[in-house]
Structure 1
Amino acid sequence: MVEHRTPVPPMYRFVANVLRPPLRLLMDYSVRGLENLPESGGFIVTPNHLSYADPFPWAHVLYDRGIAPVYLAKSELFDSAVLGYILRHAGQVPVERETSSAAEVLGRAVQALDRGQCVAIYPEGTLTRDPDLWPMRGKTGAARLALEARCPVIPIAQWGPQEILAPYGRLPRLFPRTTIHVRYGPPVDLSDLYDDGTPSAEACVEATNRIMRGITDELEVLRGERAPAVRFDPRAHGMPLTGDYTRGARPVSRG
């Protein structure tokens, strides 16, 4: 049994033990960049988001290395009686998206980092709206947390979960077994943006851009191609920022 760096709630261990066998059955992992993970202390991971299946592979890899990520997860997941109970007792943190209360969870996240935990934030805030599944424009929550906590930020790129479950898909493709490619990038350098006070809006935007660039750089390696020069912005296309934008919608293009 792997010894974890920080205490892991019993519910977390239970869910992990239930999920690990089917994950290994459905997925094969190709992993690079584990040497970029900090040896100790709290840190943030920022994965790209292209499928409801993608929170599991990179976290499975970390868990097997003794790191149990704490997710900042959308509050809607906590509304379910069963799932909400599991998430709360597993020590996960709900976030009210697109509201002022989203900033209030940063204090709990900073405390987790101070305890030496790994905190996971999807900086896009939802599944990418990019028609080619490149990382889209990020939100500033991950950057603000990183600047307040002054801890390492590890960008994570993954490619393959969308083959198991398409964006906003409901029925997974269970066979044949899918190879999930994961890259943990080097820490994003934000040290020049640190301030003694509350991070400025300009610093948060710049930090967000660097984090998204770090994720995209790693994904370019996985995909063997270059991302578009301009990051996709759902606002510019009149798209909702949360929820399933595909229902009754016309196909989206970059033009």
Structure 2
Amino acid sequence: MARRKLQEKRGLAFGIAVAIVKPTLLATTKQDWTGGEHIPAEGGCVIAANHLSHLDPLTFAHFVYDHGRLPRYLAKAEVFDIPVAGRLVHATGQIPVARLSAGAASAFAAAVEAVSAGNLVIVYPEGTITRDPDLWPMVGKTGAARIALATGCPVIPVAQWGVQELLAPYAKKVNLLPRKTMTMRAGPPVDLSAYDGRSLTPEVLRAATSDIMDAITAELEMVRQEKAPAVRFDPKAAGVREIGNPHEQAERERRRKRGHR
């Protein structure tokens, strides 16, 4: 596991975050990281990863930071409203996304600006924690592809696994013992050359997004030593809400049905 020293100036906010988060993760988790050499040592790029838990932005940031880069996320706007933590998130240059709203366009512009300035931007193409029953990557949204095709930057696919054992999707209790292994596997840049010079039509963006999700899924198959479903889970087709806790939705529906009896 080859790690790199940070070359970027991290600033006070990142320094505070690292001083809190890194020792905590080293004390409570184990790391199984491969493919870190695919993360560019410098220059703008997009890291596209699957999303398993509310904790994986921290465990994933650990992986990126220890490979010499400062992580900047496209993060849901609600995080920026959390007292104290929200100010830290803002100060470290994270990018707010107003999900399912017209405000997402400003997040795209900010991400393009960040990548063009030589920063590494992390995108969860699924847009939320996976709803797939077996935690495979879902159908992706087009943000990562749009940023990459607009800037010409590489997209590095990364699969993560194990953090869901530390904090299950939408759970509130962290399961520290025994210590969990955070597995990260990065792959080579996704080949998006087929879309060079083409207009960013919905069809092009969907095709490029599918290529990115295929690459993430292929890395996760190697991590899990299993084959992913042939058809990727689609929340819209399954009638599952796109954001928020899907278990709460199911519980409300059960209560509604009981009330009509």
What is the TM-score of this pair, normalised by structure 1? 0.93
Tell me which residue corresponds to 2:187: 185
Q: Which residue does the alignment assign to 1:227?
A: 228
1:95, distance to aligned residue in structure 2 (A) = 0.5
Moved over 6 A (4+): none
Query: Is contact 1:71-1:92 (8 Å) kept?
Result: yes
Q: Which residue of 1 aligns with 2:163?
A: 161
- Report the secondary structure of 1:169's partner residue: coil
After the TM superposition, which residues 1-255 of structure 1 pair with which residues of structure 2 at under 5 Å, given as runs? 3-195=5-197, 199-247=200-248, 249=250
What's the Cα RMSD here? 1.4
Q: What percentage of aligned pairs have identical amino acids?
A: 46
**3-state SS of paired residue (1:226):** coil
1:114 Cα offset (Å): 1.8
SS in 1 for 2:21: helix
Structure 1 counterpart of 2:82, which letter? Answer: S
Change (3 A) 1:16 1:144: same
TM-score, normalized by length of structure 2?
Answer: 0.91
1:3-23: per-residue Cα shift (whole Å, max 9, x none)? Answer: 533332311121111111110
Report the structure, 1 or 2, having the larger helix content. 2
Which stretch of structure 1 is more off in the superposition, 165-174 or 100-109? 100-109
Unaligned runs of 5+ in 1: 251-255
- Whether the 8 Å CA contact 1:103–1:141 is kept in 2: the answer is no
The question of whether the paired residues in 2 share the 8 Å contact of 1:29 and 1:57 is answered with no
The secondary structure found in structure 2 opposite 1:39 is: coil
Matched AA of 1:193: Y
Query: Within 2, Cα distance between the matches of 1:80 and 1:249?
Result: 27
- Count residues with an aligned counterpart: 248
The answer (yes or no) to whether the contact 1:158–1:183 under 8 Å persists in 2 is yes
TM-aligned CA deviation for residue 233 of structure 1: 0.4
Query: Alignment partner of 1:242: what SS?
Result: coil
CA distance in 1: counterparts of 2:114 and 2:27, whole angstroms: 32
Superposition deviation, residue 66 in structure 1: 1.9
Structure 1 stretch displaced more, 55-64 or 229-238 = 55-64
- C-alpha distance 214-191 of structure 1, shift in aligned 2 (>3 A): same
Partner amino acid for 1:16? V
Q: Which amino acid in 2 is paired with 1:62?
A: V
Task: After TM superposition, give the deviation of residue 181 of structure 1 in Å.
Answer: 1.1
Are 2:39 and 2:67, in contact at CA under 8 Å, matched by a contact in 1? no
